[in-house]
């Protein structure tokens, strides 16, 4: 395993610091960090909310110092910031409260440290030194702190649109939710993710899994990135591979790769083909979240039953989502939703409507464009909210009769 200095993702400012503090402390912190020779990405008055907004539009720094005085619920607010900043960014909470219980809650939530204000330059320097070395307080291993989550998405059978849903889910997590996300194209036969993102595939994943051990620097060099706006940072990355014959993969190496990606990104989404090639069962077995994609056919019902038998156990805290994607039919499905659910003895969590050739049209113009696919986007958003544990936004109310008359 590589040293901790290599754990920052390629889109991260490896030595910079962002500071959100009380207005009266801006000048003193500016002087402190300048004297310590640390580059400041930004320093401004604010707290977790301001830090989250800024981080969602900027390349995450190596560390964020954020004041929590005046924040009613600091731990949830810092968790929101952590999701946007990514696992490689060290969060240091600051405040005037000398509260041991608060300090313990912060450490349990994966916050790197708590800096009591007013503070000295020596205290700031000591925290920065430990952050550079990944030396966590009270933790035997830094790898056990604030890791990302793994989502394994598999189609019950081929042709249910798994790669398209993986692409759309990744785009929503990265661009709408501002969460650092990596997609892993584990389908060697299809290798469709690069095309769906408008990128040219390389042999990155094949090279990583051909090495004797996982090399974090090699991962960083082979990642492809999709940047929506110049200067907004790269939050959606791809481990791609070119189409070719499948070969045996060491399952232990696949698990090492999964663990490494959890150190680099808040969310890793794996596109697992339905025929479950070598190494895929290990990912499904250990993923934090499993998504089984189906269509309402008897073949899908039988295949989904096998997948749920193998990976449907949620007793260890792993969650499973059953998603129905009407990928092949525009009229009535072969079997009804209720018949499908009765056969599996499990409810469908999300339904994605039939989109006709609308998806193909967007791909002919480049990458998948969710903005032009409102109904499809809404279903993907519902799935993303379920995965993140967020409430699903309410649909905007339709205009009433009187307002429609006014708009004529």
Phi/psi of residue 99, each to 5°? -130, 110
* Domain's final residue, options 75, 108, 140: 140
Residue 132 lies in a domain: yes
Tokens read off for 151: 């989502």
DSSP string, 143-210: GGSS--EEEEEEESSTTS-HHHHHHHHHHIIIIIS---EEEEE--TTT--HHHHTT----SHHHHHHH
Tokens read off for 242: 């070119």
Looking at residue 357, what is its pLDDT? 86
Residue carrying structure tokens 């300048």? 34
Same domain for 158 and 83: no
Distance of CA 262 to the CA centre of its chain: 9
Same domain for 184 and 95: no
Per the structure, how many domains does the chain have?
2
Same domain for 103 and 183: no
pLDDT in tens, 135-160: 887 654 444 456 789 999 999 999 99
Higher pLDDT, residue 125 or 394: 125
Mean pLDDT check: name the lowest of 163-167, 362-366, 376-380: 362-366
Residue 9 lies in a domain: no
Tokens read off for 156: 């019950």
Residue 120 lies in a domain: yes
Cα–Cα distance for residue pair 144/287, rounded to 1 Å? 16
Answer yes or no: is pLDDT of 404 > 60.
no
Residue 127 lies in a domain: yes
Residue 284 lies in a domain: yes
- Per-residue DSSP letter, 5: G
Cα–Cα distance for residue pair 263/12, rounded to 1 Å? 13
| Domain, as residue range, for 339 | 149-388
Structure confidence at residue 2 as a pLDDT band (50, 70, 90): very low
**CATH code, domain carrying 310:** 3.40.50.300
Looking at residue 172, what is its pLDDT? 96
Mean pLDDT of the 378-391 span? 93
Higher pLDDT, residue 117 or 363: 117
Same domain for 169 and 79: no
Phi/psi of residue 21, each to 5°? -135, 180
Same domain for 246 and 322: yes
Mean pLDDT of the 196-221 span? 91
Quote the pTM value. Answer: 0.80
**CATH code, domain carrying 80:** 3.40.50.2300
Residue 221 lies in a domain: yes
Residue 396 lies in a domain: no
Give the pairing type, strands 181-185 and 236-239: parallel
- C-beta separation of 147 from 262 below 8 A: yes
Looking at residue 3, what is its pLDDT? 35
Same domain for 158 and 82: no
| Length of the chain as a residue count | 408
Same domain for 361 and 271: yes
- C-beta separation of 104 from 125 below 8 A: no
* Domain's final residue, options 96, 117, 140: 140
pLDDT in tens, 244-270: 999 899 999 999 999 999 988 999 999
Looking at residue 146, what is its pLDDT? 61
Tokens read off for 283: 């990912």
pLDDT in tens, 317-352: 899 999 999 987 766 788 999 999 999 999 999 999
Looking at residue 129, what is its pLDDT? 92
Looking at residue 198, what is its pLDDT? 92
Residue 242 lies in a domain: yes
Cross-strand partners of 183: 238, 269
Structure confidence at residue 360 as a pLDDT band (50, 70, 90): confident
Looking at residue 384, what is its pLDDT? 96
Same domain for 70 and 94: yes
Residue carrying structure tokens 């005046």? 70
Tokens read off for 30: 């500016």
Distance of CA 216 to the CA centre of its chain: 18
Answer yes or no: is pLDDT of 385 > 60.
yes
Structure confidence at residue 232 as a pLDDT band (50, 70, 90): low
């Amino acid at each position: 395993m590589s040293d901790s200095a290599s754990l920052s993702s390629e889109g991260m400012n490896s030595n910079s610091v962002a500071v959100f503090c009380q207005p009266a402390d801006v000048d003193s912190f500016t002087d402190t960090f300048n004297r310590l020779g640390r580059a400041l990405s930004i320093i401004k008055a604010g707290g977790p909310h301001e830090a989250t907004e800024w981080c969602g539009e900027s390349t995450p720094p190596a560390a964020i110092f954020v004041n929590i005085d005046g924040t009613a619920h600091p731990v949830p607010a810092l968790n929101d910031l952590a999701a946007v900043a990514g696992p490689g960014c060290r969060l240091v909470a600051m405040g005037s409260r000398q509260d041991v219980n608060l300090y313990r809650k912060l450490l349990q939530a994966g916050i790197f440290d708590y800096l009591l204000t007013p503070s000295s330059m020596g205290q700031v320097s000591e925290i920065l030194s430990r952050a550079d070395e990944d030396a966590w307080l009270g933790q035997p291993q830094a790898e056990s702190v604030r890791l990302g989550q793994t989502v394994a998405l598999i189609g019950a059978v081929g042709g249910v649109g798994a790669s398209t849903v993986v692409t759309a889910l990744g785009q929503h997590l990265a661009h709408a939710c501002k969460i650092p996300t990596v997609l892993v194209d584990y389908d060697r036969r299809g290798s469709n993710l690069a095309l769906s993102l408008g990128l040219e595939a390389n042999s990155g994943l094949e090279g990583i899994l051909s090495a004797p051990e996982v090399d974090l620097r090699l991962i960083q060099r082979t990642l492809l990135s999709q940047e929506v706006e110049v200067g907004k940072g790269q939050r959606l990355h791809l481990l791609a591979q070119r189409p070719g014959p499948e070969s045996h993969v060491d399952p232990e190496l696949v698990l090492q790769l999964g663990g490494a990606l959890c150190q680099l990104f808040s969310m890793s989404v794996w596109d697992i083909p339905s025929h479950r090639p070598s190494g895929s069962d290990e990912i499904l077995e250990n993923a934090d979240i499993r998504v089984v994609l189906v269509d309402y056919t008897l073949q899908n019902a039988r295949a989904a039953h096998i997948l749920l038998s193998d990976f449907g156990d949620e007793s260890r805290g792993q969650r499973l989502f059953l998603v129905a994607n009407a990928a092949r039919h525009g009229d009535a499905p072969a079997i009804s939703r209720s018949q499908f659910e009765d056969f599996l003895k499990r409810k469908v969590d999300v339904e994605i409507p039939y989109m006709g050739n609308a998806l193909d049209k967007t791909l002919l113009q480049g990458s998948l464009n969710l903005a032009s696919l409102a109904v499809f986007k809404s279903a993907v958003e519902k799935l993303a909210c379920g995965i993140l544990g967020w409430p699903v936004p309410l649909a905007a109310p339709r205009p009433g009769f009187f307002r429609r008359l006014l708009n004529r």
